């Protein structure tokens, strides 16, 4: 289609467009049909010409019938008056309703949003275009979470070595009356005797070795980004006594945790690798402590080792974590002053005690992916989202090869009437260009709604063909006279366009159908058959009411 308006009334421009397309236009009372416009357009179809004309005049359209449109000003008040709204309910499987509500409000500027956390439901009310975009956004985020199993193999090896070697001499010598008398008369010095504790000498010959191994092999199933913990150990009782007036002695008990505590958080990345955050805390018993008093209170000396790390592994890859070593060495000696420190002979005059405690932990970590999170289809990764003021607005971008000029270009042409009209570049729509036909369907249609299939001839040759459709899903529109045979023949004039009306049958909600263009034929000036290429997609998604 070629349009050329120079300071033309708006009503005249729509009359011209109506003659070319067969469409009817009704105008809102606030549309200034006497306003002027200047526009030059080449190689555009009806939809492109109409969208560009409405955008330049700040107008909007509303389909009343398959071939009748209402034109009204693109003001907020008029949009609220004329735009049809839809209510759509999204029952979510994996996504959080609050997060989806925030997404739709931020991306689509939708104000009418409600959630029901009990049903995992989000309800929105907006224009059909915004609802269609919301369906695609929700389909992209409502994906099942990945799940994995983490296999842990924990080995704790501890060894204790103790030795006690030497002769224990008495620590004191006593001189006094025999028989354990508590008082000694003056002048009884000759009766005094010297004594030491019984036994006088004690030889210590002891060596202890203790080995212990703790082996655990737990398996944890985690959901992506969820936290999990594991505790392996026991509780030590701690007794304490309190004496008070009129109540006597009261004994209470509390518990001290000892053992291993693990905290895990796993994240499955889009490339299938797994990031695991690991916190490990180990508490072990070092000894028992008793306080003075009757009865004595009991407490324990607890050793603690902890670590925190983040590892990134592939599915089935094992990570070895070692090095949490605890080592304690003690040496103690008692005996006769000076003599007990003699080399070699010192053990005859005292006792030496040596103690060595050593513990080590080995942890094997192996993640295994049970269910990967599927990525959205490529069609959901990039979506047209209108303009900042209207995220659901239709794109104004014209197809490659469409030549459009507004006031400035038209003014230049008026200044030089002899200037040639813009022509298509060679290789696009020229006589030597390979002929092609573009099909446009709009992508979706509702049950009972008329679907206009637009076919555009991009060559300077007469082309013929057939549009085939599914008889169970579509039927020719009432305005058409063709029988319902599953195909509609068409003839495309050079650089021309035709619209084939179809109506969606009931009971076809949720079905995706493909309209096919077959038997494309054409001849060049020499009468030779042409090979015609098909562009665009005939895919149609049928929506429910």
pLDDT tens string 28-72: 999 998 898 888 887 778 888 888 889 889 999 888 888 899 999
pLDDT band for 148, please (50, 70, 90 cuts).
very high
Choose between 104 and 191: higher pLDDT: 104
**How deeply is 65 buried, as exposed, middle or buried, from its count of CB atoms within 10 A (0-12, 13-18, 19+)?**
exposed
Rounded to whole angstroms, the Cα distance separating 65 from 55 reads: 22
- Lowest-confidence region among 22-26, 93-97, 440-444: 440-444
pLDDT for 423 beyond 50? no
- Lowest-confidence region among 2-6, 304-308, 421-425: 421-425
Which sequence spans correspond to the domains of the chain? 2-81, 85-141, 211-241+251-371, 436-542
Long-range contacts of residues 28-36, Cβ cutoff 8 Å, at least 24 apart: 28/70, 28/71, 28/72, 28/73, 28/78, 28/82, 30/72, 30/73, 30/78, 31/59, 31/71, 31/72, 31/73, 33/9, 34/9, 34/10, 35/9, 35/10, 36/7, 36/8, 36/9, 36/10
pLDDT of amino acid 422: 40
- Lowest-confidence region among 269-278, 299-308, 408-417: 408-417
pLDDT for 367 beyond 50? yes
pLDDT of amino acid 522: 82
pLDDT of amino acid 405: 53
Most confident segment among 73-82, 155-164, 486-495, 516-525:
73-82
pLDDT for 100 beyond 90? yes
Q: Stretch 271-295: mean pLDDT, rounded? A: 80
- Lowest-confidence region among 57-71, 310-324, 496-510: 496-510
What residues contact 475, with CB distance under 8 A and at least 6 apart? 484, 502, 503, 505
Q: What is the CATH number of domain 2-81?
A: 3.55.50.30
CATH of 85-141, one of 3.30.1370.120, 3.50.50.60, 3.20.20.70, 1.10.3720.10: 3.30.1370.120
Most confident segment among 81-95, 349-363, 447-461:
81-95
pLDDT of amino acid 511: 79
Choose between 381 and 258: higher pLDDT: 258
pLDDT for 259 beyond 70? yes
Under a CB-based contact definition with an 8 Å cutoff, are residues 123 and 87 in contact? yes
pLDDT for 188 beyond 70? no
Question: DSSP label at 379?
Answer: G
CATH of 436-542, one of 3.30.9.30, 2.60.40.10, 2.60.40.680, 3.40.50.300: 2.60.40.680
Q: pTM of this prediction?
A: 0.54
pLDDT for 121 beyond 90? yes
Looking at the chain, the number of H-run helices and the number of E-run strands are 6, 32
Q: Stretch 87-115: mean pLDDT, rounded? A: 92
Rounded to whole angstroms, the Cα distance separating 443 from 470 reads: 16
- Lowest-confidence region among 94-108, 168-182, 358-372, 524-538: 168-182
| H runs (alpha helix) in 208-334 | none
- Lowest-confidence region among 166-170, 516-520, 539-543: 166-170
Give the residue from 277, 283, 284 showing the smallest Cα distance to 229. Answer: 277
pLDDT of amino acid 127: 87
pLDDT of amino acid 418: 39
Q: Stretch 13-23: mean pLDDT, rounded? A: 86
Choose between 316 and 328: higher pLDDT: 316
Most confident segment among 27-41, 317-331, 486-500, 523-537:
27-41
């Amino acid at each position: 289609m070629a349009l050329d308006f120079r300071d033309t009334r708006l009503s005249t421009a729509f009359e011209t467009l109506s003659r070319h397309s067969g469409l009817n236009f009704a105008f809102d009372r606030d549309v200034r049909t006497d306003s002027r416009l200047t526009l030059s357009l080449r190689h555009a179809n009806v939809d492109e010409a109409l969208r560009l004309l409405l955008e330049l005049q700040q107008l909007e359209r509303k389909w009343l019938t398959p071939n009748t449109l209402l034109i009204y000003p693109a003001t907020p008040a008029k949009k609220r008056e004329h735009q049809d709204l839809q209510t759509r309910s999204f029952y979510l499987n994996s996504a959080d309703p609050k997060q989806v509500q925030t997404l739709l409000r931020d991306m689509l500027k939708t104000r009418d949003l409600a959630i029901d956390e009990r049903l995992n439901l989000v309800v929105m009310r907006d224009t059909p275009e915004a609802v269609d975009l919301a369906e695609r956004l929700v389909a992209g985020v409502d994906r099942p979470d990945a799940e994995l199993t983490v296999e842990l193999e924990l080995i704790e090896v501890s060894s204790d070595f103790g030795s006690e070697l030497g002769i224990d001499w008495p620590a004191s010598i006593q001189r006094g009356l025999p028989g354990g008398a508590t008082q000694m008369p003056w002048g009884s010095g000759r009766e005094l005797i010297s004594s030491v504790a019984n036994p006088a000498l004690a030889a210590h010959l002891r060596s202890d070795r203790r080995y212990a191994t703790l082996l655990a092999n737990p398996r944890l199933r985690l959901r992506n980004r969820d936290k999990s913990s594991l505790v392996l150990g026991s509780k030590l009782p701690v007794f304490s006594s309190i004496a008070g007036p009129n109540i006597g002695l009261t004994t209470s008990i509390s518990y001290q945790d000892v053992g291993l505590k693990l905290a895990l958080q796993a994240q499955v990345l889009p490339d299938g690798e797994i990031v695991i955050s690991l916190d490990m805390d180990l508490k072990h018993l070092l000894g028992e402590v008793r306080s003075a008093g009757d009865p004595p209170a009991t407490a324990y000396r607890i050793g603690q080792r902890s670590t925190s790390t983040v590892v990134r592994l592939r599915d089935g890859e094992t990570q070895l974590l070692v090095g949490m070593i605890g080592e304690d060495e003690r040496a103690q000696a008692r005996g006769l002053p000076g003599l007990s420190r003699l080399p070699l002979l010192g053990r005859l005059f005292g006792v030496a005690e040596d103690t060595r405690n050593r513990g080590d932990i080995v942890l094997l970590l192996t993640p295994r992916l049970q269910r990967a999170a599927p990525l959205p289809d490529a069609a959901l990764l990039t979506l047209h989202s209108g303009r900042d003021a209207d995220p659901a607005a239709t794109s104004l971008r014209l197809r490659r090869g469409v030549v459009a000029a507004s006031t400035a270009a038209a003014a230049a042409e008026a200044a030089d009437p002899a200037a040639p009209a813009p022509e298509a570049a060679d290789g696009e729509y020229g006589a030597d260009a390979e002929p092609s036909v573009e099909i446009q369907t709009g992508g979706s249609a509702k049950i009972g709604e008329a679907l206009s299939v637009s076919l555009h001839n991009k060559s300077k040759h007469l082309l013929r063909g057939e549009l085939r459709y599914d008889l169970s899903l579509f039927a020719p529109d009432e305005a058409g006279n063709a029988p319902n045979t599953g195909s509609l023949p068409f003839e495309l004039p050079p650089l021309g366009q035709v619209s084939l009306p179809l109506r969606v049958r009931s009971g076809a909600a949720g079905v995706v159908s493909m309209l096919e263009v077959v038997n494309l034929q054409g001849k060049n000036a020499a009468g030779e058959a042409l090979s015609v290429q098909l562009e665009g997609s005939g895919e149609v998604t049928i929506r429910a009411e």
